[in-house]
A and B are shown apart, each in its own frame.
Chain A
Amino acid sequence: MRPRRAALSTILLLFLLQACAHYPINAPLQSYVPKAGYRFDNLTPGEGNTDAIMFCLTFSGGGTRAAALAYGVLEELRDTTITAEGASRRLLTEVDCISSVSGGSFAAAYYALFRNRIFQDFETRFLRRNIQGELAGQVLSPANWFRLISPYFSRIDLAAELYDATVFDGKRYKDLAGGARPFIILNATNTALGSRFEFTQDQFDFLGSDLGEYPLARAAAASSAFPFLLNPISLQNHPAPPGFSAPPAVANALEDPGTNPRRYLWAKNLITYQDKANHPYLHLLDGGLADNIGLRAVADAYTRGFIRRRINDGAIKTFVAIVVNAKTAPPEPTDLRRAPPRIPAVVMKTMTVSMESYSFETVEFMRSLAGNRAQAQQDVAACQRILDARCPGGERLRPFRSELRLHVIELNFEQLQDPKEREFFLGLPTSFSLTNRQVDCLIAAGRKLLRASSDYQDLLRELGGRPQPGAESAAEFPPGGCKAPN
């Protein structure tokens, strides 16, 4: 009896210990130092990066499909050279920021951490793995059963552990490659506020937390915590560190809700984190719920953030935003059926319809911002010409600090010319497990879509860009093609 009792006691003890499992708590911020921490202005341009070109990429959600498409675009940028400031450079070294969501966050974070190593091992370490199967294995493992009983530990924490061990090598934000650009903005969604949450120190300041100590794996997990399948990633909202108060822009925006409701909402969401009593914790889901293409972070930086300040200071001559959108449109049989769709189908449709409409509007919003600037520059120049002709020697109009050339480029599968190729890609699943062939096709599609974009070709002409010798065939689909079956 005694050995049996001892064994039972041991099992019970293990059970109790495991059931005490808790997600890792984000570190408190000891002091508020604007000149420190993961912020764009604290990064160096990096080797070969021309400050005058502000080049941002956004990687959408869409599981491995999105990560592979983004990876193909990175390959194409690596294999393209431009001439800037009298030197030949790889276009990839010009990338200053990458804003990403869900699956796209894995490509963004991996590149920011390991740079060109991504081209050696990202395919084997992420794209060609059955991450979904491995996650299921973790959930089913007896070693984790008791941990999952704890209310403070869930499948998303197992996922983060898996990503930490097998993708991100335990790296934290403070490890991001040598403090140089690109600045990555991994986006999640605050479940309570329904607002975009970005993993930057500017955002973490409001949580009184040090992003530098935070694992990239947990940020990527939050960004890709798809509702229904995974639980949210939780963060603690620590007391504000000494010296921190909301920036003047937030205070001014809050006092004036009428003039610019969009700016007011931005400030209101931020200031909510200072209400520590009512928001001691926050819970983050997939960034796609707030913005599935990652472009809102760039639009915010353009309207009121680090991009805006650099434009007004005249540091930027060329602004580029490339949106890599892996959205799909699987065949829709609803209208062929007499019976209305069932609740699960309706729930899924409800989520994706609003997501896609918002993505479309976000791209158009960014294009309108760029168009407004171009128009304003033209208006000033045209009026100045008329004034010079009719009132020579008169007072001159106030100029912009520098003329800005703007390029907003969206890539998506709808742009593929071949209907069968389009059908193939639009029908791919959202999953963390794709076949090698699907991954091959997606990588080639990233390169092909970029090359085929007339907006991108305009950019290359402006920058004197061209594919490197030998890279011409890399944008071809693998033998047999990537087409939907007849």
Chain B
Amino acid sequence: MEYLVVRFPRSRRVVIDGEFNGRANELIELEAGTYTVSLGPPANFTPESRRIVLKNTSALDPKEVTFDEA
């Protein structure tokens, strides 16, 4: 499995491939692959979504994706 951290200044639900799946600033465990990552409402963040390829990560060295508050 692979590991992802979505950075955002607040706690917020993470949306992966259109479904809620984990929370910002915590380790999210997923199988390897390409994903579309976004955040749950309210829509006060940029960018709208990010497309990532998840591979060769570990729990200590996860892929990091950052969203900013709009």
Interface residues of A (CB under 8 A from B): 247-249, 252-253, 255-256, 259-260, 262-263, 303-304, 308-309, 311-314, 369, 372-373, 376-377, 379-380, 383, 397-401
Residue in A255, A312, A369 whose beta carbon sits within 8 Å of that of B34 in the complex: A255
Chain B residues within an 8 Å CB radius of A253: 33-34
Residue of B nearest to A401 (CB): B26
Give A249 to B21 CA distance when docked, in angstroms.
Answer: 12
Residue pairs across A and B with Cβ atoms less than 8 A apart, 27 shown, are A252-B35, A253-B34, A256-B33, A256-B34, A256-B53, A259-B34, A259-B53, A259-B55, A260-B55, A263-B32, A303-B31, A304-B31, A308-B30, A309-B19, A309-B20, A313-B21, A369-B1, A373-B1, A373-B29, A376-B1, A376-B59, A380-B59, A397-B60, A398-B25, A400-B26, A401-B22, A401-B26
Chain A residues within an 8 Å CB radius of B1: 303, 369, 372-373, 376
Chain A residues within an 8 Å CB radius of B30: 304, 308, 312
- Interface residues of A: mostly helix, strand, loop or mixed? helix
Give A126 to B22 CA distance when docked, in angstroms.
Answer: 43
Give A314 to B13 CA distance when docked, in angstroms.
Answer: 11
Chain A residues within an 8 Å CB radius of B19: 249, 309
- Interface residues of B: mostly helix, strand, loop or mixed? strand
Interface residues of B (CB under 8 A from A): 1, 3, 5, 13-14, 17-23, 25-36, 53-55, 58-60, 62
Chain A residues within an 8 Å CB radius of B23: 312-314, 401
Chain A residues within an 8 Å CB radius of B26: 398-401
Chain B residues within an 8 Å CB radius of A255: 34
Assess whether B58 is in contact with A379, with CB atoms less than 8 Å apart: yes
**With A248-B36, A313-B20 known to touch, is A398 a contact of B29 (CB < 8 Å)?**
no
Assess whether B22 is in contact with A313, with CB atoms less than 8 Å apart: yes
Residue of A nearest to B22 (CB): A312
Shortest Cβ distance from residue A316 to the other chain B in the assembled complex, whole angstroms: 12
Give A253 to B32 CA distance when docked, in angstroms.
Answer: 10
Chain A residues within an 8 Å CB radius of B55: 259-260
Assess whether B32 is in contact with A259, with CB atoms less than 8 Å apart: yes
Give A25 to B53 CA distance when docked, in angstroms.
Answer: 41
Residue of B nearest to A381 (CB): B59
Give A86 to B7 CA distance when docked, in angstroms.
Answer: 36
Assess whether B58 is in contact with A376, with CB atoms less than 8 Å apart: yes
Assess whether A400 is in contact with B60, with CB atoms less than 8 Å apart: no
Residue of A nearest to B7 (CB): A398
Residue of A nearest to B23 (CB): A401
Chain A residues within an 8 Å CB radius of B18: 247-249
Assess whether B21 is in contact with A309, with CB atoms less than 8 Å apart: yes
Give A247 to B62 CA distance when docked, in angstroms.
Answer: 25
**With A313-B21, A313-B22 known to touch, is A260 a contact of B33 (CB < 8 Å)?**
yes
List the 7 closest A-B pairs by CB distance, nearest first.
Answer: A312-B22, A376-B59, A256-B34, A249-B17, A260-B32, A248-B17, A260-B33
